[in-house]
Structure 1
Amino acid sequence: MGAALVAAMADPDRTFDAIVIGEYERAFYGNQFSLMASLFEHYGVQLWMPEADGRIDFEADGHEQLMIGLGIQSKREITRTRIRVRTAMATQAREQGRYLGGRPPYGYRLVDAGPHPNRAHAAWGRRAHRLEPDPETAPIVKWIFAQRLAGHSVARIARALNDAEIPCPSAADPERNAHRSGREWTHTTVRSILANPRYTGRQVWNRQPTEHDLIDPANTGLGHRQVQRWNLPDGWVISHRPAHPALVSETDFVAAQNIRARRGHADPDRCYRLAGLLRCGICGRRMESCWANSRAAYRCRHGYTSASKVDPERPKNLYIREDRILVHLPALYILLAKPDPVNTPPTAEDIIGHLRAEEITLTYDPETRSLGTGSREGVRITIDRTR
């Protein structure tokens, strides 16, 4: 509303020449008046407030001091109100398990829970809501947890859902997910379901709190914008008692989280010395480490993930063993660094350290079976063919 009013002030055909503010708390926050006063003067729009007994004189020091004081008081009241509201919402979620709004999680739907517990809101006709399992999507959530507990990966679960042509959450509820594509299940979608504690039947609040960031740090006069970021689990507010029917037991939910944590640990016996240094000569992506036939190797799937079907036009996966690359590193080092022949030849670890220090990446071309380099300046040197 405020932005629309400022835009209307710039219209030469506007139908008003003054603005009357009845409550100062709804007008200026902090130092906003000092930033807006010149705008009112520029467009010739008067400002009237009861605290000034009429029109504000933009050039009078007394009126300027009054508006600065009212802005500080307004900021104080808004801050106090925000603290009270957040404290009340945390208490309602923790002690009462009350549903506090937002989109229901996939697998649930909203149902009427009677008149609003606040008498004033109830008098206005507002109703309370609660979560209830959705007969169409709740079995999918149970199946996802069962598959995870059986040891299946997130990618395999997503692929099975896509192969069965089960609508993803944004496709199952397009009205509430208009900002999403709704095309298919992804790793992120399955992972977020497995990590949502609300499926245990307990109400959870403050998982994604609203914060305020500067619109432009170089121009603080533009103010702040609201952004939402995921909160850490220690900042969540969880109800003491179950608030709605559970789709998974708390024991199974904790077990599913432990599966993810256990798989996150790397095998200490597997070492990938060229990790992050190889690129695919077909698509340009960084190649990922893999363990093939008890040896370190690297592969590129050209953007394909096991959560989706294979594109028939996609090139075949690229594989290269680490030992076949290491034998060519000395020749590569001679071309790049031109070391003194009198000195001791560098080891493979020395060459790899040099590549990382100079931010040089290696490119493997499967068509010519050649290995090349690319530095920050885009230089590429083709060396001996790999066998």
Structure 2
Amino acid sequence: MRNHEYDLCNLPGDLFREILLRLPVKLLLQLRTVCRSWNSFISSHEFVMHHHQRSTQPRLVYCSLESDGLDIMQCSVSSLLYNQLQPTRIEPLQIKYKTIQGSCNGLLCLCEGFPYRTLTLFNPCTRSVSLNVPFEYPGGDYLQPVFCGLGYDALRDKYKFVTGSKSSTVAAGLFRYRAKVCTFDPNPSWKTVDHPMFPYFTSCYSGTFVSGTLNWMAHVPDNDNEWFILTFDLETESFGRLCLPRNNHTHTGSCDYAPSLQVLKNFLSMSFQPACDINTACTIWIMKDYGVEKSWTILFTIPFGNAIIRSDIWLEPLYISEDEILLAYGKFNWSNLLVYNFRKGEVVHPMVEIEGSRDRSTIYPLSKSVYEKYFHVYHESLVSCLP
């Protein structure tokens, strides 16, 4: 064993690093116990961030009442995409009575209670947990936030939680919009930030993190056709807006489904049901150069073609593999997951099994209850929740 360790440690540095970058988090956690030098290298900020960028282990998480009490559930995305002959194992994380309000770099932002009482960062892979931070509402009146999200300020190496709400304290019948930012460090703190003072609604509650920014789909209340992307730069702590693709007139059609935001293939992505195209169920765009509106490019289109993808179904993409297989959230009679193979044009509803359930029964995802689900896809990470 000693000779084996000696040989490994004397591999060329670049080769040794490349080997470790390809290993899953679970194995890396074990290797950290080999010796102090390995622990120091694997725990270094540079290695942790590079490993996350190279991660090929996506995981799906959501809050559920499918186990005893409200719990956070997770499963392997790869199993959902490729293991169609066996039910995917759904694992309860035993994080009771907390909801997911954002995700970033493999971390989940959890809120407890409603109105929210505390804010916590949690890494599902390492099980590390930050200290609880008392939640502060932007308006101070405990109205439900209009939007929120978790992001990473690379300049300061800090994770930040952003939340905005509307307050009716200005005048009767009028609302004022406010926003606050919580910075996670040894002494977490909240601060009020400037907020664009115009009325709008956000259709996506939890922000999408990409390129150092949080992003929400929004529109003017009296005009459902006027959609745009509300942005927040984590470094400058300032709001802005981006236009949607010019040749997609952002009209949601008779179904009135809002465009949705996600990160696909590491790009900011927008999915949309064209209003006047009777052949297309969903169009997926990506912004190849973040902030450059001319870089919007159609990635894929999903055609109508069978009873599963119909005109009354709203689809929200969650993940696209390198070989063009899509995991999406479909909403119709009840919420469900579906897998769509672009090359074959096939739709599959993967089966799942709840780990530790009493009956061990196989079920369709999300069809067991009528409660709404909000999904997050994250990549396994060694990122620590502790500053």
Fold equivalence (TM over 0.5): no
The structure richer in helix per residue is 1
Larger Cα-atom Rg: 1
The structure richer in strand per residue is 2
TM-score (norm 2): 0.24
Higher relative contact order, structure no. (Cα contacts within 8 Å, ≥ 6 residues apart): 2
TM-score (norm 1): 0.24
